[in-house]
A = this chain, B = another copy of it.
Amino acid sequence: MSASKLDAIFKPKSVAVVGASTKPGTAGNDILLNLVRDKYIGNVYPVNPKADEIHGVKVYPTLTDIPGEVDLAVLVVNAKFVPGVVEESKTKGVKGLVIISAGFKESGHEGAEREKELTKQVQAAGIPLIGPNCLGVINPSINLNASFAAKIALNGHLGFISQSGALCTSVLDYAEAREIGFSKFVSFGNKADVKEADLLEYLADDPDTKVIALYLEDIGDAKRFIEVASKTFWEKGKPILCLKSGRSAEGAKAVSSHTGSLAGSDAEYEAVLKQAGVQRVTTIAELFDLAALYTTQPLPKGNRLAIITNAGGPGIMATDAAIAAGLTLAKLDQSTKDKLKPPVLPEAAALNNPVDVIGDAHSDRYKAAVEAVMADPNVDLGVIVLTPQSMTDSDNCGKILPEVIKKIGKPVVGAFMGVKQVEEGVKNLVDQGVPNYAFPEDAVKSLAAAVRLVASKSISKREYAEYKDIDVAKANKIIADYLGSEKEKYLTQAECRALFECYKLPLLKSGVAKSADEAAKVVSGIGSKVVMKVMSSDVKHKFDAGGVLLNIEGADGAKKGYEQIYANIAQNVPGAKIDSILIEQMADKGVEVIVGCSRGGLGPLMMFGLGGTLVELLKDVAFRLAPMWKVTAEEMVREIKAFKVLDGYRGTPKSDINAAVDTILRMSALAVNHPEVAEFDINPLIVHPEGKGASVADSRVMLRKV
């Protein structure tokens, strides 16, 4: 969909409300009221065959009776009349549709069929549609409240997209209380036509939008979402926040029964959001905390926080929260401390960070402290903690500090603590573009989130690995052969090897010998220590019978080993028939990891973690969707808590991380190229010390007919 097509919905010159109602308290009445009361700057045309005038506006019996052009038609009619109105819209030349009406996918089978037809109809007509089953859209910059929300949004720079209509009124209410303004506010309901990715694409190019916030219950096309979102953030520089509900299995079930869509697992969504560069939040409060910061303050250059406070206790609380959130306390330059010496701050003031301006501080002391501390080159972020004590002029602090902060060019926020006692001061701060947090912990957590956002921004090289040595055709043939006419099949070790060879995975070498000379050849070919195993159906306990030899090396060793096994078997299992001797390369030492894949609703989900039951128990694994960029595979490896084990810990050598990354990428390619590969595990992949590669020690692949 061409993004500019959505202009008809978000920047219409005229709006028709089809199903405008005379009955107060109905959506058809409220929408018209909103357009009129909020003074939408374009033409408004109510449509209702049974009314003459509603809210003082002339009513037309049908869309086609309207004299002027209609950019946007908002439909509030019964679901069964929708197809007719859409047909009429086509005739009238309507350029965009918002369908408020319920009775579609959310209402069961019949509604779902009705929705499919609707989608076909609008897409054939080439008219973009938002909804059905939504609250509507708001664009405060042109006073457009084409929704039945009880109030219009404040004008501002947050683009908000919500899959839940019911949430919207609460959101507008919270946002107003915090003075957060919106560029566009969209409830997009069942998303029969316009999807989250379309809206993201539109907002990415919208000059009024600086930050985007999403409330999502599912994502339709994960691949496209990743593409669009990652460009929005990494190329256009607009942060995207997302509250994705249905995190728990129980929540996902509720999503399904609520939206009628099949939700993927949370591990999938978590992976998608990470790959898309979207910052996930888990509560509405957090969404606003971050939106308030990102829409007003510059992004930080580092993680060194300065705390300026008039009270010791809250300064400590801010410190605790900062460390817990991954920030560090900035170490102030001596020259900064010199600037703050008496008479600027009193003798009792603490000049080390947290800087304590002491309980009787007036705004002048705060101003001096903020100026000096934030100018310190060792400081990246600042929080101003203020408790209303008997001498505190919080009103004035709120009045004068924003100007100081604006000049600094670093993110600084307030933590004026209290409600009524700091009301005026907080208003002064926020009016001038400095966010305030009622509790220092929230202030600090938000700053820390900004630091994480910036860190993820450094992932700018979004390149796919191109493997020219992969033989897809051969793999396809192997898969077709092995699967045959079966529905599902687990591959044998030999079959796994054959498949993995097409993808040039680091398999351990092996061979079979039927003579001492052959053994010598195989071992020389392998070129490192091997295990020799007798292959004989007559020998039950290979080890006990002396049929397994470890650590065999070289041609001579191979020959001796071969003969030794024959001799051992002859002695211990007289008369046993020996088929051959299996020779397998012994894996060098290394760290055991797992590379796995399963398929959920959104695509092949790759998994990476350390081997062993303990890791499994502690769920210390990383997920990403295939295909993935090279940096994404690197992220997977670095994301697990046990990464230190790979990175060299307590004297163990650093592992060959590149080899692990390479294996993840090759296995991603395997998953993407062959939909029949339903799931697999390489467990363990042994990752050797740096430069020594990795070895597939064991694996499991399941094929499934598609």
- Name A's B-contacting residues (CB within 8 A): 25-27, 30, 107, 148, 150, 162-167, 169-170, 173-174, 176-177, 215, 217, 243, 245-251, 254-255, 257-259, 282-285, 310-317, 319-324, 329, 348, 350, 352, 354, 356, 359, 387-391, 417-422, 438-439, 441-442, 610, 612-615, 617-618, 620, 641-642, 644-645, 649-650
Contact = CB atoms under 8 A, between A and B. Distances in A.
A134 to B, nearest CB: 12
Given A419-B176, A615-B614, A650-B613, A247 B215 contact: no
A645 B313 contact: no
Given A285-B439, A285-B441, A311 B166 contact: yes
Contacts of A165: 359
Contact of A649 (B150, B313, B359, B617): B617
A641 B613 contact: no
B251 A319 contact: yes
Contact of A387 (B30, B170, B613, B614): B170
Question: Which of A173, A176, A254, A388 has the most chain B CB atoms closer than 10 A to its own CB?
Answer: A254
A419 B173 contact: yes
B248 A320 contact: yes
A617 B644 CA distance: 8
A439 B283 contact: yes
B320 A148 contact: no
Contact of A314 (B27, B166, B177): B166
Given A150-B390, A166-B389, A173-B421, A315 B285 contact: no
Contacts of A285: 438-439, 441-442
A414 to B, nearest CB: 13
Given A27-B390, A166-B311, A418 B173 contact: yes
Contacts of A319: 248, 250-251, 254
Contact of A167 (B313, B323, B441, B613): B313
A320 B167 CA distance: 16
Given A312-B164, A312-B258, A174 B418 contact: yes
Contacts of A642: 614, 617-618
A78 B254 CA distance: 64
A418 B390 CA distance: 32
Q: Which of A246, A259, A350, A419 has its CB near the most chain B CB atoms (within 10 A)?
A: A419
Given A177-B419, A312-B254, A620 B617 contact: no
Contact of A169 (B284, B323, B418, B650): B418
Contacts of A618: 618, 620, 641-642
A27 B323 CA distance: 35
A312 B390 contact: no
B645 A314 contact: no
Contacts of A282: 320-321, 324, 441
Contact of A166 (B27, B359, B419, B617): B359
A25 B166 contact: no
A167 B217 CA distance: 40
A545 to B, nearest CB: 20
Contact of A283 (B246, B441, B610): B441
A644 B320 CA distance: 31
Contacts of A166: 310-314, 359, 387, 389
Contacts of A177: 419-420
Contact of A250 (B173, B251, B329, B348): B329
Nearest to A103: B348
A243 B314 CA distance: 11
A168 B259 CA distance: 47
A285 B104 CA distance: 41
Contacts of A615: 614
Given A174-B438, A390-B25, A418-B174, A614 B613 contact: no
B249 A176 contact: no
A258 B170 CA distance: 41
B316 A391 contact: no
A165 B387 CA distance: 10
A173 B617 contact: no
29 contacts: A107-B348, A150-B388, A150-B421, A162-B313, A166-B314, A169-B388, A169-B418, A169-B421, A170-B314, A170-B388, A215-B313, A245-B317, A245-B320, A246-B316, A247-B320, A251-B317, A255-B316, A257-B352, A258-B356, A282-B320, A282-B324, A282-B441, A284-B417, A285-B442, A613-B649, A614-B642, A617-B642, A617-B645, A618-B618
A323 B174 contact: no
A69 to B, nearest CB: 30
Given A169-B387, A248-B323, A320-B248, A313 B164 contact: yes
Nearest to A347: B107
A314 B641 CA distance: 32
Nearest to A416: B170
A175 to B, nearest CB: 9
Contacts of A243: 317
Contacts of A245: 313, 316-317, 320
Nearest to A175: B419
Contact of A418 (B170, B316, B323, B438): B170
A619 to B, nearest CB: 9
Nearest to A358: B166
Contacts of A387: 166-167, 169-170
Contact of A313 (B163, B316, B322, B422): B163
A163 B641 CA distance: 36
A167 to B, nearest CB: 5
Contacts of A422: 173
B251 A320 contact: yes
Contacts of A389: 166, 169
Contacts of A316: 217, 245-246, 251, 254-255, 258
A77 to B, nearest CB: 17
A323 B250 contact: yes
A391 B170 contact: no
Contacts of A391: 25
Q: Which of A243, A285, A319 is most buried by chain B, counting CB atoms within 10 A of its CB?
A: A319
